[in-house]
């Protein structure tokens, strides 16, 4: 199984390479990183602009720049940022922590909600429970994630105003002035996490709960469930031990594949709640044609995709022994 | 010959009947039709144009302004209708362009197989590895933000999805006897693709394109919110929502109405896609338990 996963990994390497190259070219051609510097009043002297251009490797042709960037990545150097006082590496690592917190929380929440909703839907197929939960799932699929996020944020603000004190934190990933002590500080971070997590989780919830419903229905009609019931096992035991366990297998792999997509969802949620995470970094970088910063985001996103694909493959093999022999 | 023609006519009628049996899909089709017709017809008779600046600024919904006005005095009803038009135009263009490119691409890959197939499909893989939101933002940032460029950017990133679906279908059709028979009768490759392969592909493509329609609407809103989509003074649903998102508490009507229409449209399109899929592939739709 590990070998299978590794082989998949090796196959995806050239594609990832091409992908980074494509994005590198696109971002480089999408604008002039020095535009801001050139348009300043009073005008910046041409020497300064030339020096800045050299710092950003703009005096080299595009292909050479890509090669230099690639060489840098191998050594763990993300390249120069347009913002002269910022180093991309430490910056993105700090922001990755912030974003991972959000993604992990949203992932767990979405998974829990999806499993519960999916199982209820399947067990009570064609009842009002099923219809209601299905409708919820469809609405969450049709809702622009940031619209819901803004709605939540506004709800939080109004609730705070109504009670005259801060119940929900609606701005930033933590308070500007962090409280002293480990426990208050953690509580502060958790408080800021609540609404964004909900906003991000709802995006994945829709698809996952539908998936869980379908796979649960599939399992419930299978022979071994009928056999388990015929043996005289209680309905509850059959559902939890036999049906749910098997129905979770496909969901687990789907969620692992989708987890990387949460990174894109986080871009919007972070913008709404003004978090200083990866998403915010990407938006700013694109706006100022910060090629190397965009590339840093991409490399991390691509790594996440590859890693989660691998995890999905391995999980699938681990959870479902039938797969191991077939997939070679 | 006549007999076979009659045979070929029959499935669509059965398909329509099956689609009509899917109640959410039918209801959605009705709702979507009303929204589309209203979006294009009502502005012709409505008293305000989306660009009019009326003397009433920031008034809540009233008879004169059913959706209220913004701080400059734009009539939000006219703007929402205009936004629906734009968002629909963008998503339909995305669906058409990526549907066409994807179908041709996938058909060629599936039909010819071998080296052509791997070359074409690796290109698809490459496109599919690009994170949609990030790359669309980069491309849209480089272009000037007119609505059809936004649509083309989204198409450039979504055709590969369709190509993959089409290739799968073509691969399974390719080995069927009727293709062999057509070839034995001396049909050219082009003729076989056009008369035998494409009709089989239409179903799955329609379903995927329908889903793409709602994805495109949502992607447009997301891009506009981040500032990379349609640019003012043009109007789209995404732009309306993002422009009003900073003042939800003071002018909630500006935020709720365009958002609700996004949801209604995307929801309706998804249900229609569902209905189409079940009509086209009744095997998936067996009653369980």
Would you call A325 exposed, middle or buried from its count of C-beta atoms within 10 A (0-12, 13-18, 19+)?
exposed
CA distance B209 to B217: 12
Is residue B3 predicted with pLDDT exceeding 70? no
Amino acid A63: pLDDT: 87
Amino acid A1: pLDDT: 60
Residue A40, domain member (yes or no): no
**What residues of chain A lie within 8 A of the CB of B242, using their CB?**
146
Amino acid A196: pLDDT: 92
* Domain limits for position A11: 2-21+93-324
Amino acid B11: pLDDT: 60
Q: Cβ of B226 and A23 within 8 Å?
A: no
Kindly report the CATH number assigned to the domain that includes residue A97. Answer: 1.10.3720.10
Residue A216, domain member (yes or no): yes
Residues in chain A: 328
Amino acid A89: pLDDT: 84
Residue A42, domain member (yes or no): no
Segment B37-65 shows an average pLDDT of 78
In total, how many domains does chain A have? 1
Residue A13, domain member (yes or no): yes
CA distance A60 to B98: 36
Report the percentage of chain B scoring pLDDT > 90: 15
pLDDT in tens, B117-164: 888 988 888 888 788 888 888 888 877 668 888 899 899 988 998 998
- Which range has highest mean pLDDT (A128-142, B166-180, B194-208, B239-253)? A128-142
B218 touching A (Cβ < 8 Å): yes
pLDDT in tens, A269-322: 998 888 888 988 899 888 888 888 888 888 888 888 778 877 877 777 777 766
Where is B60: in which H helix or E strand?
Answer: none
Helix axes B252-280, B23-45, angle to 10 degrees: 140
CA distance B251 to B249: 6
Is residue B34 predicted with pLDDT exceeding 60? yes
Residue A184, domain member (yes or no): yes
Is residue B78 predicted with pLDDT exceeding 70? yes
**What residues of chain A lie within 8 A of the CB of B252, using their CB?**
154
CA distance A304 to A61: 30
Concatenating the DSSP letter of every residue in A87-127 gives: BHHHHHHHHHHHHHHHHHHHHHHHHHHHHHHHHHHHHTTTS
pLDDT in tens, A67-116: 888 888 888 788 788 777 778 888 888 899 889 999 999 999 999 999 99
Pair B135, A23: CB distance under 8 Å: yes
B137 touching A (Cβ < 8 Å): yes
Is residue B287 predicted with pLDDT exceeding 70? no
Which residue would you say has higher pLDDT here, A100 or A56?
Answer: A100
Is residue B236 predicted with pLDDT exceeding 60? yes
Smallest Cα distance from A94 to chain B, Å: 20
Which residue would you say has higher pLDDT here, B247 or B214?
Answer: B214
Amino acid B30: pLDDT: 93
Q: Cβ of A141 and B126 within 8 Å?
A: no
ipTM of predicted assembly, 2 dp: 0.83
Structure tokens at A20: 């980074």
Most B CBs within 10 A among A27, A146, A239, hence the mutation to make, goes to A146
pTM: 0.84
Residue A73, domain member (yes or no): no
Most B CBs within 10 A among A142, A154, A219, A297, hence the mutation to make, goes to A142
CA distance B12 to B173: 19
Residue A80, domain member (yes or no): no
Is residue B228 predicted with pLDDT exceeding 80? yes
Q: Catalogue the long-range contacts made by B80-83 (C-beta closer than 8 Å, 24 or more residues apart).
A: B80/B237, B80/B240, B80/B257, B80/B258, B80/B261, B81/B38, B81/B39, B81/B42, B81/B43, B81/B46, B81/B50, B82/B43, B82/B50, B82/B235, B83/B235, B83/B236, B83/B237, B83/B238, B83/B239, B83/B240, B83/B258, B83/B261
Domain positions in chain B: 14-45+75-280
Residue A83, domain member (yes or no): no
CATH architecture of B14-45+75-280: Orthogonal Bundle (1.10)
């Amino acid at each position: 199984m590990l070998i299978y996963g590794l082989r998949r990994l090796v196959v995806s390497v050239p594609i990832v390479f091409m992908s980074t190259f494509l994005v590198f070219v696109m971002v480089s051609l999408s604008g002039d990183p020095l535009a801001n510097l050139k348009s300043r009043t009073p005008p910046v002297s041409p020497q300064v602009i030339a020096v800045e251009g050299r710092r950003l490797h703009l005096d080299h042709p595009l292909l050479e720049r890509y090669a230099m960037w690639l060489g840098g990545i191998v050594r763990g150097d993300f390249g120069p940022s347009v913002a002269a006082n910022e180093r991309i590496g430490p910056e993105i690592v700090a922001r990755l922590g912030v974003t991972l917190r959000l993604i992990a929380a949203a992932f767990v929440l979405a998974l829990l909600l999806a499993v519960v909703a999916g199982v209820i839907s399947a067990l009570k197929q064609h009842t009002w429970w099923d219809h209601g939960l299905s409708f919820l799932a469809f609405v969450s699929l049709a809702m622009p994630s940031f619209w819901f996020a803004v709605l939540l944020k506004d709800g939080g603000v109004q609730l705070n105003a109504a009670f005259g004190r801060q119940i929900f934190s609606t701005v930033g990933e933590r308070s500007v002035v962090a409280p002293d002590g480990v426990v208050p500080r953690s509580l502060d971070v958790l408080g800021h996490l609540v609404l964004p997590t909900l906003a991000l989780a709802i995006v994945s919830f829709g698809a996952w709960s539908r998936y869980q419903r379908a796979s649960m229905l599939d399992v419930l009609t299978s022979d071994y469930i009928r056999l388990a019931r015929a043996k005289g096992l209680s309905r509850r035991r059959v559902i939890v031990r036999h049906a749910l366990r098997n129905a979770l297998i496909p969901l687990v792999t789907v969620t692992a594949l989708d987890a990387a997509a949460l990174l894109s969802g986080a871009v919007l949620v972070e913008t709404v709640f003004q978090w200083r995470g990866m998403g915010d970094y990407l938006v700013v970088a694109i706006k100022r044609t910060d090629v190397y910063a965009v590339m840093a985001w991409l490399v991390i996103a691509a790594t996440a995709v590859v890693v989660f694909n691998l995890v999905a493959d391995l999980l699938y093999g681990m959870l479902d022994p039938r797969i191991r022999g077939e997939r070679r | 010959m006549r007999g076979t023609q009659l045979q070929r006519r029959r499935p669509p009628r059965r398909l329509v009947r099956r689609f009509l049996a899917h109640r959410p899909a039918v209801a959605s089709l009705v709702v979507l039709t009303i929204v589309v017709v209203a979006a294009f017809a009502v502005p012709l008779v409505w008293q305000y144009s989306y660009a009019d600046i009326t003397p009433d600024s920031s008034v809540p919904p009233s008879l004169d302004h059913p959706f209220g006005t913004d701080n400059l005095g734009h009539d939000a009803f006219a703007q929402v209708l205009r936004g629906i038009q734009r968002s629909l135009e963008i998503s339909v263009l995305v669906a058409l362009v990526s549907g066409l490119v994807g179908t041709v691409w996938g058909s060629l890959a599936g039909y010819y197989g071998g080296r052509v197939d791997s070359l074409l499909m690796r290109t698809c893989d490459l496109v599919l590895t690009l994170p949609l939101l990030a790359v669309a933002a980069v491309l849209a940032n480089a272009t000037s933000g007119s609505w059809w460029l936004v649509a083309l950017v989204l198409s450039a990133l979504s055709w590969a999805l369709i190509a993959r679906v089409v290739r799968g279908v073509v691969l399974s059709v390719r080995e069927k006897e009727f293709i062999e028979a057509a070839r034995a009768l001396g049909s050219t490759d082009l003729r076989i693709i056009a008369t035998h392969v494409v009709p089989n592909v239409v179903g799955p493509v329609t379903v995927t394109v329908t889903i793409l329609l709602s994805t495109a609407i949502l992607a447009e809103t997301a891009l506009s919110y981040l500032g990379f989509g349609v640019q003012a003074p043009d109007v789209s649903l995404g732009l309306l929502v993002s422009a009003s998102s900073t003042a939800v508490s003071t002018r909630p009507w500006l935020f709720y109405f365009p958002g609700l229409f996004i949801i209604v449209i995307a929801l309706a399109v998804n249900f229609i896609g569902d209905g189409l899929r079940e009509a086209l592939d009744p095997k998936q739709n067996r009653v369980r338990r």
